[in-house]
Chain A
């Protein structure tokens, strides 16, 4: 019963947030200085009549409220507007790219999470030791390097100078690769952009896991475990790590939002044809409807990620179900 209540509460919260995001998304693109139609075209040669016609076509002659109702209705039908740069519906443009981004994000996050948690746990366990200090310094440095800067460095070193990896894109153009060869080619292209995300993420996960670990190791129940005469490895696994990972899981929703930043930067540097590169192109082309659609996608996916994290968390922390701990 409590579990269902918890689920419904979180679900309602997610819906309200998504609605607020839709409102915000609408408002942001209306506060822009200047006329939205002019903004969209950027061309002084477009005549006043043409603009008027456009305004009527896009419903911009209506009141702000009327415009919002239109926008909302269209969204519900899956219509995210029309990309002026690509001359196609926004949803199609995004749909073409989203798979590429998922490949990149999922690969990078899985690798980074595993390595980061492992190193963070070791550093926290050996808190204050030389190992800890070196892991901490390295992770702080990694965490401080913007993904795009890391990307450019990797690109210069491994693609231009050493020529080990391709310069960008998702596959070798006109190679005619199929089947296994194609997959191999894609992985080849994936490595550098993935690593520029991974390296930042490892830093983030190390810092998070380490500080959580240090905090947990200071808890009374670790002392209890020690007084039980358990092996250090058992204490680490069954008592310390399990508890230390709880906040790491909670934060993985927030981290997902950071992942989006990493994706935008890495895809831009390596011309990876996903949503991140699309964001950059939309900015460069000042394609506002496309940008609006992308932002909505990012924001909603973060809300959903957080919702998912809440559900997972309620499974792994027994305190949630009875409502003892507020998430």
Chain B
């Protein structure tokens, strides 16, 4: 008896692994997926290898002579109005964007999934209340709310993560709930109920694994939006003052009034922001394409 169930478990793991392999290969073969994955790996590399990439402390200001120097052998991307190395700021900036992107997405997905599962599974008054809250949050204009919260809470990287997550979880909750509602009607759930599976076992053992692919797609979107939100907030002067991000570089450049004289100070962070967001958007498009039913059978011919 236990042998059989063990065997089944191994089989299940094996099938799951194969599915993940298939998914990744489809993703990499997708035109946009390829570009997206490439860009993201590039930035991950930069973020991890930052200290090795001929960088100095990005906040360390130079002397009065080294202000607004155009790119040269020493300062590859020139310096800003305080004589700080733009190259180092850009390289280290990737860490902020990615960190905020990943942590916010994680927080969003966790909260959203939990709320979505509870609402979808229990239904009734609990669902009603939770969905009303979700609707309310979705009705609020995101950027003004983030600005207000960030301004009130004070500028720090953790506040930005908190604010971004607070804005984003309702979308995930909605997606997860509708998924659960359709899963609930499937025969295999009925079958598990009949053999006496408990609610929590049903939720996390049977239903949750079926939501995972959608969560992955959601996570990619959330990372994209978080990176975007951080850039905007920092540009508006609500960034973490002790950690220079691409958005805050642009804030300082814009605020200095000498932006036009120092394109080397402005263009690298702008292009980095655009490239990274485009990378995640492409990946997101690829993921949602690949997850469409029938994609595997018909595409990539």
Q: How far is the CA of A265 from the CA of B237 in the complex (A)?
A: 12
Question: Which residue on B lies nearest to A211, using beta carbons?
Answer: B288
Q: How far is the CA of A152 from the CA of B140 in the complex (A)?
A: 27
Q: When the two chains form their complex, are residues A143 and B141 in contact, meaning their CB atoms are under 8 A apart? A: no
Given A260-B141, A268-B236: A144 in contact with B259 (beta carbons within 8 A): no
Q: When the two chains form their complex, are residues A32 and B153 in contact, meaning their CB atoms are under 8 A apart? A: yes
Q: When the two chains form their complex, are residues B232 and A146 in contact, meaning their CB atoms are under 8 A apart? A: yes
Q: When the two chains form their complex, are residues A283 and B237 in contact, meaning their CB atoms are under 8 A apart? A: yes
Question: Which residue on B lies nearest to A262, using beta carbons?
Answer: B143
- Give min CB distance, B147 to chain A, whole Å: 6
Which residues of chain B have C-beta atoms less than 8 A from A141's C-beta?
Answer: 274, 278, 281
Q: When the two chains form their complex, are residues A283 and B238 in contact, meaning their CB atoms are under 8 A apart? A: yes
Asked if A60 is at the interface (CB within 8 A of a chain B CB), the reply is no
Q: When the two chains form their complex, are residues B151 and A261 in contact, meaning their CB atoms are under 8 A apart? A: no
Q: When the two chains form their complex, are residues A299 and B144 in contact, meaning their CB atoms are under 8 A apart? A: yes
Q: How far is the CA of A163 from the CA of B260 in the complex (A)?
A: 12
Q: How far is the CA of A298 from the CA of B145 in the complex (A)?
A: 9
Which residues of chain B have C-beta atoms less than 8 A from A136's C-beta?
Answer: 285
Which residues of chain A have C-beta atoms less than 8 A from B273's C-beta?
Answer: 146, 149
Contact with A along B261-301 (1 / 0, CB 8 A): 00100110010011001101110010000000000000000
Contact with B along A11-38 (1 / 0, CB 8 A): 0000001001100100011011100000
Q: When the two chains form their complex, are residues B281 and A302 in contact, meaning their CB atoms are under 8 A apart? A: no
| Range class of the A interface residue count | 35 or more
Which residues of chain B have C-beta atoms less than 8 A from A283's C-beta?
Answer: 147, 151, 236-238
Given A145-B274, A156-B259: A21 in contact with B147 (beta carbons within 8 A): no
- Give min CB distance, A152 to chain B, whole Å: 6
Asked if B250 is at the interface (CB within 8 A of a chain A CB), the reply is yes
Asked if A140 is at the interface (CB within 8 A of a chain B CB), the reply is yes
Find residues 220-246 in chain A having any chain B CB closer than 8 Å to their own CB.
none
Question: Which residue on B lies nearest to A18, using beta carbons?
Answer: B139
Q: Which of A31, A153, A261, A295 contacts B232 (CB 8 A)?
A: A261
Q: Which of A24, A153, A254, A279 contacts B270 (CB 8 A)?
A: A153
Q: How far is the CA of A284 from the CA of B36 in the complex (A)?
A: 36
Stretch at the interface among A84-92, A173-181, A286-294: A286-294
Q: When the two chains form their complex, are residues B270 and A152 in contact, meaning their CB atoms are under 8 A apart? A: yes
Asked if A306 is at the interface (CB within 8 A of a chain B CB), the reply is yes
Q: When the two chains form their complex, are residues B238 and A149 in contact, meaning their CB atoms are under 8 A apart? A: no
- Give min CB distance, B258 to chain A, whole Å: 11
Contact with A along B143-166 (1 / 0, CB 8 A): 111011101111000000000000
Which residues of chain B have C-beta atoms less than 8 A from A191's C-beta?
Answer: none
Question: Which residue on A lies nearest to B144, using beta carbons?
Answer: A298
Which residues of chain B have C-beta atoms less than 8 A from A156's C-beta?
Answer: 259-260, 263, 266-267
Which residues of chain B have C-beta atoms less than 8 A from A143's C-beta?
Answer: 281
Asked if A257 is at the interface (CB within 8 A of a chain B CB), the reply is yes
Which residues of chain A have C-beta atoms less than 8 A from B278's C-beta?
Answer: 140-141, 144-145
Given A156-B266, A268-B236, A280-B236: A31 in contact with B142 (beta carbons within 8 A): no
Find residues 144-176 in chain A having any chain B CB closer than 8 Å to their own CB.
144-146, 148-149, 152-153, 156, 160
Which residues of chain B have C-beta atoms less than 8 A from A291's C-beta?
Answer: 147-148, 151
Q: When the two chains form their complex, are residues A257 and B141 in contact, meaning their CB atoms are under 8 A apart? A: yes
Which residues of chain A have C-beta atoms less than 8 A from B263's C-beta?
Answer: 156
Q: How far is the CA of A56 from the CA of B134 in the complex (A)?
A: 37
Enumerate 19 A-B pairs (CB-CB under 8 Å) in ascending A order: A28-B152, A29-B148, A144-B277, A145-B274, A146-B228, A146-B232, A146-B273, A146-B277, A152-B259, A153-B270, A156-B260, A257-B140, A261-B232, A265-B232, A265-B235, A265-B236, A268-B236, A286-B151, A288-B152
Task: Give 5 nearest A-B pairs by CB, closest first.
Answer: A261-B143, A160-B260, A257-B141, A144-B277, A32-B152
Other A-B contacts than A257-B141, A264-B143, 19 sampled, CB-CB below 8 A, are A17-B139, A21-B140, A28-B149, A28-B152, A32-B153, A133-B31, A143-B281, A145-B277, A145-B278, A152-B259, A160-B260, A258-B142, A260-B141, A261-B141, A261-B142, A268-B236, A283-B151, A291-B148, A295-B148
